[in-house]
Amino acid sequence: MCSRRGLGRVLAVLVLQCGLAGTALAQEITLKLHHFLPPVSPFHTDFVIPWTQKVTKESGGRIKFQVYPSMQMGGTPPQLYDQAKDGVADIIWTVSGYTAGRFPAFEVFELPFMANTGPGASRALWEYVQANKLNQTEFKDVRLLAVHTHDEPHFHMIGKAIKTLADLKGMKVRAPTRVTNKMLAALGAVPVGMPVTQVPDALSKGVIDGALLPWEIVPAVKAHELVKFHSEIDHKSSWLYSAVFVFAMNPGKYAGLSEDLKKVIDANSGAEASAWLGRVFDESAARGRKKAQERGNAFNTIPLAELQGWQKVTQTVTDEWLKDLDKRGMNGKALYESARQLLRKHDAPK
């Protein structure tokens, strides 16, 4: 028989345990989400806002967000990855290639003439990361929530249209990453690497003659107001290149979530979230293009027959990437074939 005092102690312990359990279940947290695009960009309006709202709703209002577009928390786009790694921001979104050479295996999707659609390539990219365990190697310092490509990039030029390789010779053209800069050099242009946030100033000051950009971002950086010519890749061709993006969370912040809140984050991460991002970019392309049409800018299409020659010229970029991976102790050929196989599965050519 328990004494009255002993029974009281047992009840007190049970009350304390129930209280602690209730506290865990009732955990509330506010996550800081940081990215470099303006709040008018389709990425922000069509993904960030609905994604955060969805997570908040599915968590019963216990996960809330403070969203900081346009680098409002400070730093530069190339520093965003480390902001997630170091806990400056809880969740970030950035272009992996802004930190040149840091994610070499991930670069395979940047190679010339790989992707065909945003959703398909993004789903393939997520599976590529899982199949090759990049979340345990190149991305071990963060928790990946999604990875994706943008929509198809095209040339946006100040002074003339690009119709053939000869038109690119000596032209100063912006591209986002070391792989895309090598591709431009192979095509005879003078590559100028910079984050997209620097493009408006570079165009207005004549630092560059034009830029490679997907249509999604053109209105957000007002590129259609700064150029006159838009030279588009024939839709029957695979894309000239893809930039690849990471949507990532600080691992410590994730680890500190209660199990039920982790499940909410997990349910809004992965292949489906990656495909959603790719779809947002693809579906926003027509809106971006319309802005340039409304200004009366000139359009032309670089035909498939011309691009087939470009594909042969840029094979050197792929060959160099394969050698670089081998020098780093990776199996470049195996990684390349893995990417190609997944693209065939999810992103078949047009």
Residue 332's region, left for phi above 0, alpha for psi from -120 to 50, else beta, is: alpha
Provide φ and ψ at 147, rounded to 5°.
-135, 150
Give the model confidence (pLDDT) of 28-47 as tens digits: 999 999 999 999 999 999 99
For 330, the enclosing helix (H) or strand (E) is none
Q: Could you give the C-alpha distances from 290 to 40, 284, 287, in angstroms and in order?
A: 16, 10, 5
Higher pLDDT, 163 or 13: 163
The pLDDT of residue 112 is: 98
Residue 19: what pLDDT?
Answer: 47
Tokens 């431009």 belong to which residue? 184
CA atoms in the 13 A half-sphere facing the CB of 78: 13
- Tell me, what's the pLDDT at 6? 56
CA-based nearest residue to 197, from 319, 77, 284, 324: 77
Query: What mean pLDDT comes out for the span 69-73?
Result: 98
Please report the pLDDT score of residue 348 as a whole number: 83
Counting residues of the chain whose pLDDT is more than 70, the rounded percentage is: 93
Residue 344 CB partners (closer than 8 Å, separation 6+):
none
Evaluate if residue 350 carries a pLDDT over 90. Answer: no
Interval 215-244: pLDDT, tens: 999 999 999 999 999 999 999 999 999 999
pTM as predicted: 0.91
Domain boundaries, the chain: 27-151+243-283, 153-242+292-346
Please, what CATH class does the domain formed by 153-242+292-346 belong to? Answer: alpha beta
Query: Under the phi-then-psi rule, with left for phi > 0, alpha for psi from -120 to 50, and beta for the rest, what region is 70?
Result: left
- Rounded to whole angstroms, the Cα distance separating 231 from 173 reads 13
Confidence of residue 8 (pLDDT cuts 50, 70, 90): low
- CA nearest neighbour of 203 among 227, 185, 177, 168: 227
Find the mean pLDDT for residues 24-28. Answer: 72
State the residue for tokens 């680098």: 71
Full DSSP string of 45-81: IIIIHHHHHHHHHHTTT-EEEEEE-TTTTSS-GGGHH
pLDDT tops 60 at residue 7? no
Which residues is 32 bridged to in the sheet? Answer: 66
**pLDDT reading at 79 higher than 90:** yes
The structure tokens listed for 273 are 């979230």
214: β partners? 153
Residue 159 CB coordination number (10 Å): 11
Tell me which of 3.20.10.10, 1.10.10.10, 3.40.190.170, 3.40.50.2300 is the CATH number of domain 27-151+243-283.
3.40.190.170
Is-same-fold flag (27-151+243-283; 153-242+292-346)?
Answer: yes
- pLDDT, residue 26, reads 75
